[in-house]
Amino acid sequence: MSRLLLLILLPFIAQANGEGAWQASGMGATLSHRGVAASSRALAPSQPVSGVMTLVAWRYELIGPTPAGLNVRLCSVTRCVEIEGQNGTTRGFTNVAASEPLRFVWQVPGGGKLFPVLKVRSNQVIVNYR
């Protein structure tokens, strides 16, 4: 099953198992200097939810090449999880309140200007909870 198809089907799979899911997406960030972190806006459920997270799927899209050494974290209010690749899933937020917003945080190690500038076109999360 392709990752994109999995991202599309996750909310339906969760509903079939008697669980809940929410998804949010937003515009990305711009990072122009090494050693500085850039954060996305908070991605939060559009309606009140209760329970705890079980599985989080993520996806982000860059404009241009991926800088060498790019470090990406997905963070809730209480926890950050390092993620690899522009899409995937993590159980790193297991038992975190499902209502907590998530943010992407991008950073390239080192110092000085980043060329070309890192531009994130979009980012998305799908949060499954029970």
pLDDT of residue 1: 44
**Count: domains in the chain:** 1
pLDDT band at 8 (very low <50, low <70, confident <90, very high): low
User: What are the tens digits of pLDDT across the range 37-89?
Assistant: 999 999 999 999 999 999 999 999 999 999 999 999 999 999 999 999 999 99
Nearest CA among 29, 115, 118 for reference residue 70: 118
pLDDT of residue 128: 97
Mean pLDDT across the stretch 10-17? 49
Q: Which domain holds residue 27?
A: 3-129
Give pTM, 2 decimals.
0.84
Taking CA 74 as the corner, what is the angle to CA 93 and CA 52, rounded to the nearest 5 degrees?
Answer: 25
Q: Name the CA radius of gyration of the chain, rounded.
A: 15
Mean pLDDT across the stretch 96-117? 96
- Using an 8 Å Cβ cutoff, are 76 and 88 in contact? no
